[in-house]
C-alpha cells in the first residue's frame, strides 16, 4: 500500500488528506499546531508536527513515504533547502510541489508552461528549482491560480473600504475541488517530471466576477479603481486537461454556486 505524506493540512491539505485516506492510501499529514492533531486523527491520517522554519529529527519519520505532497504557503527558501536535504536522505520516490501562477509576470498574453521567458523572479521559482535539482523527472510542480471555494468565498475577499484595482483585467482562479481532483489524477497516473498550470476554463474580468460574487451573498459592492492601469495575464489550462485527461468540475467561474459549510 502506497504511503503519501502531505506537508501542510490547512484549507487545501486537510480535505486532500481525507481524500487520499478514503482512496485507500496510508496518509501522514503535517501541521504546526498541536490543536490540529486530533482533527487529522479523526479522518484516519497519521499526524505530525512539522515546521519548515525549524525542522527537527521527526521529519525523517514523516518522510518515510512513497510520495511527498508539499502544500504550504511558506516562501522560506533556506527552510526548503534544508527540507530537500532531508528528502535526499529519505525514501521519498516522488514530490508534488504546489506552487502558484504568480510566478509569471503580468503581461497581456495567454501564458503556457513553456513561457519561461515571462517569469517574475522570486522565492517560489527558487523553491521550484530546489525540487527540480533534487529530481526533475521525479518532481511535478502544479501552479494553481487563485484558490476559491467553501470558506474562501470571493464575495468575502473585500474588507470595507478596500478597492479592486484594474477591474477590466481577467482573473485566473481555481476551485478547491479541482485542485484535489488534479493532484489525485497526478498521483493515480504517476505523472512525474511535469509543470502544470491549473485554473478554470473561463477568465471573466475582475469587475464581472467579483460583482457577481458579492451580489450572491448580499455584501456591499467593492470599489473598482483604474488608478494604476496595467497588464493582465491569462493562464492556459490546456496542458493539464490534455495530459491528465482531466475535466474540470468547475470550468466556468461565473456559474459556481459556493458552499461555505466546509
Which among 235, 215, 257, 229 has a CA at the least distance from the CA of 167? 229
Sign of CA dihedral 7, 45, 96, 245: negative
In sequence order, what are the beta bridge partners of 96? 69, 140
pLDDT confidence of residue 160: 66
The contacts of residue 65 (CB under 8 Å, 6+ apart) are 3, 4, 5, 26, 28, 91, 92
Alpha helix segments (H runs only) across the chain: 13-22, 37-42, 59-62, 77-88, 123-135, 176-189, 206-216, 238-244
Per domain, the residue ranges of the chain are 3-149+173-200+233-255
Mean pLDDT of 200-222: 90
pLDDT confidence of residue 161: 66
CA atoms within 13 A on the CB side of 220: 8
Query: Has residue 148 got a pLDDT over 90?
Result: yes
Query: Has residue 48 got a pLDDT over 90?
Result: yes
Which among 16, 9, 15 has a CA at the least distance from the CA of 32? 9
pLDDT confidence of residue 126: 98
- Which grid coordinates belong to 60? 525523517
CATH 3.80.10.10 holds for 3-149+173-200+233-255: no
Which among 128, 255, 258, 262 has a CA at the least distance from the CA of 197? 128
Within 10 angstroms of residue 143's Cβ, the number of other Cβ atoms is 24
Residue 169: band (very low, low, confident or very high) from pLDDT cuts 50, 70, 90: very high
pLDDT confidence of residue 57: 85
Residue 87: band (very low, low, confident or very high) from pLDDT cuts 50, 70, 90: very high
Amino acid at each position: 500500500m502506497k504511503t503519501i505524506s502531505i506537508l501542510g493540512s490547512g484549507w487545501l491539505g486537510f480535505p486532500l488528506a481525507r481524500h487520499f485516506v478514503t482512496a485507500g492510501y496510508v496518509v501522514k499529514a503535517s501541521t504546526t499546531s498541536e490543536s490540529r492533531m486530533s482533527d487529522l486523527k479523526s479522518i484516519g491520517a497519521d499526524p505530525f508536527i512539522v515546521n519548515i522554519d525549524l525542522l527537527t529529527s521527526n521529519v525523517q519519520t514523516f518522510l518515510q513515504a512513497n510520495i511527498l505532497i508539499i502544500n504550504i504557503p511558506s516562501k522560506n527558501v533556506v527552510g526548503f533547502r534544508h527540507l530537500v536535504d532531508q528528502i535526499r536522505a529519505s525514501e521519498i520516490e516522488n514530490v508534488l510541489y504546489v506552487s502558484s501562477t504568480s510566478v509569471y509576470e503580468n503581461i497581456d498574453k495567454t501564458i503556457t508552461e513553456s513561457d519561461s521567458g515571462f517569469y517574475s523572479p522570486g522565492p517560489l521559482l527558487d523553491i521550484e528549482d530546489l525540487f527540480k535539482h533534487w529530481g526533475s523527472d521525479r518532481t511535478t510542480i502544479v501552479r494553481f491560480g487563485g484558490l476559491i471555494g467553501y470558506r474562501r468565498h470571493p464575495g468575502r475577499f473585500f474588507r470595507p473600504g478596500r478597492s479592486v484595482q484594474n477591474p477590466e483585467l481577467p482573473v485566473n482562479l481555481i476551485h478547491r475541488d479541482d485542485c484535489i481532483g488534479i493532484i489525485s489524477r497526478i498521483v493515480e497516473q504517476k505523472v512525474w517530471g511535469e509543470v502544470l498550470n491549473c485554473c478554470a476554463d473561463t477568465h471573466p474580468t475582475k469587475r464581472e466576477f467579483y460583482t457577481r460574487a458579492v451580489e450572491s451573498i448580499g455584501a456591499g459592492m467593492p470599489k473598482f479603481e483604474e488608478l494604476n492601469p496595467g497588464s493582465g495575464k491569462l493562464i492556459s489550462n490546456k496542458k493539464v486537461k490534455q495530459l491528465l485527461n482531466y475535466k474540470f468540475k468547475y470550468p466556468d467561474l461565473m456559474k459556481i454556486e459556493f458552499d461555505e459549510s466546509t
